[in-house]
Amino acid sequence: MSSAADIAKSLQDEFGAAILSTVEFRGEHTAIVDREKARDILAHCHGKLGFDYLIDLSSVDHYGEDPRWELVYELYSLANGENVHLRIKYTLPEDEKAPTVSDLWPTANWHEREVYDMMGIEFDGHPDLRRILMWEGYPFFPLRKDFPLAGRPSEMPDVAFTNRAPLAGGPFVTAPTSGSTVKREPRSREMD
Amino acid sequence: MADSPATSLQHAAYDSKVEGNVIFTRVDSAINWMRKNSLWPMPMGLACCAIELMATGASRFDISRFGAEVMRFSPRQSDVMIVAGTVTYKMALAVKRIWDQMPEPKWCIAMGACASSGGMYRSYAVLQGIDNLIPVDVYVSGCPPRPEALIDGLMKLQKKIEGEASTVAQLKTGAPEPETVEA
């Protein structure tokens, strides 16, 4: 097995245009890939390149942009023995399903359930796509950007209920922005 | 127990000249005295407060000095539910169900900021205080409270139980709920 730079290059040789871009930051490589080929690329990383460990699978909500979702896969190789880390990213429109990788890395089973539970992204081919943190029947996806921090009322008789939390004028949150410090600093954001 | 009845029982009359082993008191006082010195907690440990609750039970702080060392993991054998930690909405109805399984008379201590008010979790996932679901007798502040604070809360609960007039009031009115007939 080779270094992270070689791996990023070999991906480009193998998949060509499906690797939209690669980024290197302090020796760690990120490949932004085409979502049509994402599953093949991840299978290639797992099989041929020896990334036997899926550190994490997470999702990002680019609310207001299209495509809205971005899926992020953190790969690592334990068999390799070298400190090689690879991140695979791809975007996904709101009405599409992501391909499951739970058959490649069994740990992805619960990661994908969490992404489904919190963000509402469905995974095609997942063997058991149920909620994992919230209860079955909870009607919202609470990590979406359009979901208020205080929550929304819901009711599942004999199972659970939720209410809005009092926020005293909040939520007092920082917003990632290229604007001034006044815009960035924690202050109340309007909510529904 | 040898010398404590004379000092701690209110309205008790102890006449050593008449009878060496007899004391006179009101039935409420006697029952309350027995109840308050033998509180069996239901440790509802849900988060980091449970660690302090365990410390309170262990040798250094030793909650058995106040008669509350018999932590029962069955609600049917418990008198006081100590809600120690963050009550998520997912857990909330389970806590309520365990509370409903406890026989009367029963009391509740909300230990720490989360159990009292939701604490720092102003969030979609957290119940904003267990008093939304069950009646709380004592709130203990802290995040988490130190064992001394919990013991102070327990002593406040003992003071409260001392003043209850449940027995006589229930006999007179037939009222089933001790909370509703407190003096």
Determine phi and psi for A32, rounding to 5 degrees: -95, 120
* Band (B182; pLDDT cuts 50, 70, 90): very low
Give the pLDDT confidence of B141-174 residue by residue, as tens digits: 999 999 999 999 999 999 999 988 766 666 666 5
Q: What percent of chain B has pLDDT over 90?
A: 64
Model confidence, pTM: 0.79
Which of A52, A46, A72 is closest to A61 using CA atoms?
A: A72
Asked whether B115 and B128 are in contact (CB, 8 A), the reply is: no
CB within 8 Å: A151 and B92 = no
Query: Residue A181 carries which side chain, given as an amino acid letter?
Result: T
Residues of B in CB contact (< 8 Å) with A are 89-90, 92-93, 118, 121-128, 132
Averaged pLDDT, A35-56: 91
Give the pLDDT confidence of A99-154 residue by residue, as tens digits: 999 999 999 999 999 999 999 999 999 999 999 999 988 999 999 988 888 889 99
Whether the per-residue pLDDT at B1 is higher than 50: the answer is: no
* Band (B177; pLDDT cuts 50, 70, 90): low
Round to whole Å and give the CA distance between A169 and A150.
11
ipTM score for this prediction: 0.80
SS3 A16: helix
Give the pLDDT confidence of B24-79 residue by residue, as tens digits: 788 888 889 999 999 999 999 999 999 999 999 999 999 999 999 899 899 999 99
Query: Residue A161 carries which side chain, given as an amino acid letter?
Result: F
Query: Using CB atoms, which residue from A150, A158, A170 is nearest to B124?
Result: A150
Question: Distance (Å) from the C-alpha of residue B103 to the closest C-alpha of chain A?
Answer: 21
Averaged pLDDT, B123-144: 93
Asked whether A36 and A98 are in contact (CB, 8 A), the reply is: no
CB within 8 Å: B125 and A142 = yes
Question: Distance (Å) from the C-alpha of residue A157 to the closest C-alpha of chain B?
Answer: 10
Round to whole Å and give the CA distance between B95 and B90.
10
CB contact A179 to B (< 8 Å): no
Question: Distance (Å) from the C-alpha of residue B104 to the closest C-alpha of chain A?
Answer: 23
CB within 8 Å: A170 and B118 = no
- Please give the angle made by the CA atoms of A26, A173 and B89, to the nearest 5 degrees: 105
CB within 8 Å: B118 and A165 = yes
Query: Using CB atoms, which residue from B124, B125, B128 is nearest to A166?
Result: B128
Which of B79, B78, B58, B74 is closest to B151 using CA atoms?
A: B58
